[in-house]
Amino acid sequence: MMVALTISVFANAQTRVEIKPADLPKAVTENIAKDYNGFAIQNAYKVTSNNQSAFEVVVAKGSEKEKLEYSSTGAFVKKAPVASVAAQTAPIKKAEPAKKSEPAKKQEPAKK
């Protein structure tokens, strides 16, 4: 009996582009001014995935940093660890090709 197996893989293509803070929706900048008084915007990103846009903003006040995520309309979504920003921008390393194993050597019969 023969069984055919089909596997579909859908790529979750995501683009992340740094933008100027002035290009953020007004709702985002107003939320930051209200809820993060005294913080300055360090980085802003527009993230697009599955035809949906969102925004990531890194704000700082002294040595304190926060990563904030907003919807495409500028509604606050969540606060995330700042370390995840570096992880997302780190270059992706290609997997090392598997080493070919050498064919097993024939063992000679034991001498009597």
Q: What is the pLDDT of residues 23-64, one digit of tens each?
A: 999 999 999 999 999 999 999 999 998 889 999 999 999 989
Residue with tokens 């890194």: 58
| Number of independent structural domains in the chain | 1
The DSSP code sequence of 23-43 is: GS-HHHHHHHHHHSTT-EEEE
What region, left, alpha or beta, does residue 68 occupy, with left being phi > 0 and alpha being psi -120 to 50 degrees? beta
CB atoms within 10 A of CB 1: 2
- Residue 72 falls within a domain, yes or no? yes
80 Cβ contact list (under 8 Å, min separation 6) = 67, 68, 69
Return the closest-CA partner of residue 74 out of 42, 14, 34, 15. Answer: 34
Residue 78, domain extent: 14-86
Residue 48 falls inside a structural domain: yes
Residue 107 lies in a domain: no
pLDDT digits (tens, 9 = 90+) for 65-89: 999 999 999 999 999 888 644 444 4
**Is residue 35 assigned to a domain?**
yes
Model pTM greater than 0.75?
Answer: no
Straight-line distance from the first to the last Cα atom of the chain, in angstroms, rounded to the nearest whole number: 48
